[in-house]
Amino acid sequence: MSLIEIKDLKVHYPIRSGFWNRITDSVRAVDGVSFNIEAGETYGLVGESGSGKSTTGKSVVGLEKVTSGSIMYKGLDITKAENRRKLDYNHDVQMIFQDSLSSLNPRKRIEDIIAEPLRNFEHLSKDDEKLRVLQLLNIVGLDADALYKYPHQFSGGQRQRIGVARAVATNPKLIIADEPVSALDLSVQAQVLNFMKKIQREFGISYLFISHDLGVVRHMCNNIAIMNRGRLVEIGTRDDIYNHPLHIYTKRLLAAIPETDVNSREAHRASRLAVEQVYQDQQSKYYDDNGAAYPLVQVTPTHAVALPQTIAQQLASQEGEVQA
Amino acid sequence: MAENFEQHSDISAADLARLTQEAQAEATPSTAKIIWSEFKADKPAMAALIIIVGFILFVMIGALFINTPKMMETNIMGYFNQPFTADFWLGADSAGRSVAKQLIVGSRNSIGIAIGLTVISSTFGICWGLISGYFNGYIDWGMQRIYDFMMMLPMTMMIIVLVTIIPHYNSVTLTFIFSIFYWEGTSRLIRSRTLAESEKDYVAASKASGTSHWKIIFREIMPNISSLIIVDCTLSFAENIGVETGLSYLGFGLPSQTPSLGTMIANANDPNNITQYWWTWLPAALEIIILCLSISYVGQVLRRAADSSQRQGSVN
């Protein structure tokens, strides 16, 4: 059984308008998303901004009110607040935020920030609690001096590591990492990611890794879901997504990864333009009449794509020929 | 699970005392220390603080040694006695009552009302604004309609009516009557900041850490809008001295047998007093000006202490 099973998750925001301020329409931020996260794996959720990936992440932690669908954890649907309370859900599922500065309360000392989940869930004695905070700081590579300082006294990378320490504090089973490194520069990104990987190895934590940076996702994730306009357009292993992309949206994302090979700059440019051309010409083939993605169809046991069955088969066989 | 952490970190219980000490050496100074260093860096504010504290202590203690009913008795021999004499340091008013003693008791009454009013109305206003802003939705809607209704009532008129229909009132009941109306400005101000603050990620992080709503409101959001609260409280304290004074001046504040800064300033209603007998009203007017100025100086220092980018003190 999977750690978390997300079924047909929908988060819609009402749009009010008119004289009576009635609900006239809704923004379909997340519109029928289903996937499973296995224990101990890193699941990548990728998409452009506004595709609903952060909303999906927040729903999984329980910060977002879900319109319909279910998120099953230990056999209970945690979209209901009472089930979350019953399971002490946030003891097991924590979150790392994108903006390290605004996610740490500027008026609290680091000790209080990291100890917050411990105080709510574990009720340790004062000394044990302090010891745990010191150990956590040590694990993310910070000195004991940090204990009584305030968040603004740290650099971005250090703050994000404090955020990681807080998320790990209760030894959770799953951590939602909502673009944890996209606000950091590249050298610091690598540092934070390596700490996250080290923690995963040592504590056996699963990550739901939300990102728009396919390079980072490739480094971190075993299974990847591509999200577009509130729906999943492609699910697969790292190999499926990076080497056999089927959906045009996935191809566009991959084409957008910058290449450092200066000698074949022209060739890369041409291939990017070719992908864009296909997208412009064949949009109607890849999206339905309302501009939404099709339901997912299975191509191989690990690989699914949001296309009508016939087109999916056709593309898959084409892909096979190219490989051959 | 604790073993899990022991395993992957080379810190154990034995290091706790040493590391705590190390951390303490590097610790950021406490809020009280920061505020004190701000006062030390700003000499006028330090003087203002000494004036306020000294004056309040002086009138609170001094008033205990004055027999008010006896002091308020008419003494025909002291009719408009000149100031700076042995019996009457600041002269006497038309009933021959000592201005100096009235000033002490009157200040105690007025400042007491202002402090009480500020504490009650600000506490209520801050809670109202925080709760309304944090919960949003229907709760916010309901609370804001109550607010709108209260705002619609003409405040001064209502106070005057209440004061006339309540048979026996003193400074305590007067404080409560004022408090019914003076929480509104504070609550709107606090609500607007809370709306912005509760959208921030650290609130989401606290929710995800399982912290309860009340704890988030009063332990997470409130400290973050403390600079706003401090400024608002000091300003409303200065304003509240004026509230009682103004109403007493109009004759609807404290009963005439209870001296207050307002009843003393009301002496200036008489043109004779303004031109010839200046000592009947000038000391009270000066006192109000000095107090309000001092309070705003102190408020500025507190605001600077709450905002690290504006600090002038040496401790950072």
Last-in-domain residue among A162, A193, A228 = A228
CB contact under 8 A, A99 and B4: no
For residues A309 and A187, membership in a common domain is answered with no
Distance CA A134, CA A140 (A): 10
CB contact under 8 A, B201 and A134: no
For chain A positions 141-160, those within 8 Å of chain B (CB to CB) are 144-150, 152-153
For chain A positions 177-206, those within 8 Å of chain B (CB to CB) are 202-203
For residues A143 and A280, membership in a common domain is answered with no
For residues A92 and A134, membership in a common domain is answered with yes
For residues A224 and A241, membership in a common domain is answered with no
CB contact under 8 A, A135 and B209: no
For chain A positions 79-98, those within 8 Å of chain B (CB to CB) are 88, 90-91, 94-95, 97-98
For residues A288 and A142, membership in a common domain is answered with no
CATH code of the domain made up of B34-69+98-244+295-310? 1.10.3720
CB contact under 8 A, A131 and B207: no
For residues A62 and A208, membership in a common domain is answered with yes
ipTM of the complex: 0.87
C-beta separation of B127 from B137 below 8 A:
no
A281 close to B (CB below 8 A): no
Let me know if residue A13 belongs to a domain: no
Q: Which helix (H) or strand (E) holds A245?
A: none
Tally of domains within chain A: 2
Last-in-domain residue among A164, A198, A228 = A228
Distance CA A195, CA A139 (A): 8
For residues A319 and A212, membership in a common domain is answered with no
CATH number of the CATH domain containing A49? 3.40.50.300
For residues A183 and A46, membership in a common domain is answered with yes
Strands of chain A, DSSP E: 4-17, 22-37, 42-47, 68-73, 76-77, 93-96, 174-178, 206-211, 223-228, 231-237, 297-298, 304-305
For residues A264 and A207, membership in a common domain is answered with no
User: What's the half-sphere exposure (Cβ side, CA atoms, 13 Å) at B315?
Assistant: 16
Model pLDDT, residue B117: 92
Residue B147: pLDDT band with limits 50, 70, 90:
very high
* Closest to B33 measured CA to CA, from A147, A148, A145, A113: A148
For residues A203 and A273, membership in a common domain is answered with no
- The three-state DSSP-derived secondary structure of A106-166 is CCCCHHHHHHHHHHHHCCCCHHHHHHHHHHHHHHCCCCHHHHHCCHHHCCHHHHHHHHHHH
A109 close to B (CB below 8 A): yes
For residues A51 and A194, membership in a common domain is answered with yes
Let me know if residue A177 belongs to a domain: yes
| Per-residue tens of pLDDT for chain A, all 324 residues | 788 999 999 999 988 888 888 888 888 889 889 999 999 899 999 988 888 899 999 999 999 889 999 999 998 999 998 999 888 899 999 999 988 888 999 888 899 999 999 999 988 888 889 889 998 998 888 888 888 888 988 998 899 999 999 999 988 999 999 998 888 888 888 888 988 998 898 888 999 999 988 888 988 898 999 998 889 999 999 998 998 888 889 988 888 888 888 888 888 889 889 988 888 888 888 888 888 888 888 888 888 888 888 888 888 787 766 654
CB contact under 8 A, B201 and A90: no
Domain spans of chain B, in order of start:
34-69+98-244+295-310
**pLDDT one-digit tens code per residue, A259-287:** 888 888 888 889 889 988 888 888 888 88
Going from the C-alpha of A166 to that of each of A48, A163, A246, B32, B206, the distances in angstroms are: 28, 5, 39, 28, 10
**pLDDT one-digit tens code per residue, B8-34:** 777 777 777 888 888 787 777 777 888
Residue A290: CB atoms within 10 A of its CB come to 6
A55 close to B (CB below 8 A): no
Cβ-based contacts of A166 with chain B (< 8 Å): 205, 209
**pLDDT one-digit tens code per residue, B186-221:** 999 999 999 999 999 999 999 999 899 999 999 999
Last-in-domain residue among A176, A206, A228 = A228
CB contact under 8 A, A166 and B205: yes
Let me know if residue A1 belongs to a domain: no
CB contact under 8 A, A152 and B20: no
The tokens for A59 are 């729903």
Let me know if residue A189 belongs to a domain: yes
Cβ-based contacts of B197 with chain A (< 8 Å): none
For residues A203 and A275, membership in a common domain is answered with no
Going from the C-alpha of A269 to that of each of A243, A245, A258, A265, the distances in angstroms are: 19, 19, 10, 6
Distance CA B190, CA B130 (A): 6
Model pLDDT, residue B1: 56
Distance CA A251, CA A282 (A): 13
Residue B55: pLDDT band with limits 50, 70, 90:
very high
C-beta separation of B153 from B181 below 8 A:
yes
* Closest to B291 measured CA to CA, from B13, B129, B55, B3: B55
B201 close to A (CB below 8 A): yes
**pLDDT one-digit tens code per residue, A32-71:** 899 999 998 999 999 888 888 999 999 999 998 899 999 9
B61: pLDDT strictly greater than 60: yes
Task: Kindly tell me the number of DSSP H helices and DSSP E strands found in chain A.
Answer: 12, 12
Let me know if residue A274 belongs to a domain: yes
Identity of the amino acid at B236: S
Let me know if residue A16 belongs to a domain: no
For chain B positions 294-313, those within 8 Å of chain A (CB to CB) are 308
Model pLDDT, residue B316: 47
Distance CA B312, CA B165 (A): 52
The tokens for B306 are 């709450």
Which one of B7, B201, B217, B230 would you mutate to disrupt binding with A, by most A Cβ within 10 Å of its Cβ? B201
Q: Work out the average pLDDT over B257-270.
A: 82
Structural domain for A255, as ranges: 236-324
C-beta separation of A18 from A51 below 8 A:
no
Cβ-based contacts of A88 with chain B (< 8 Å): 210
CB contact under 8 A, B16 and A103: no
Distance CA A62, CA B83 (A): 73
Let me know if residue A32 belongs to a domain: no
Which one of B5, B224, B229 would you mutate to disrupt binding with A, by most A Cβ within 10 Å of its Cβ? B5
**pLDDT one-digit tens code per residue, B73-85:** 887 777 777 777 7
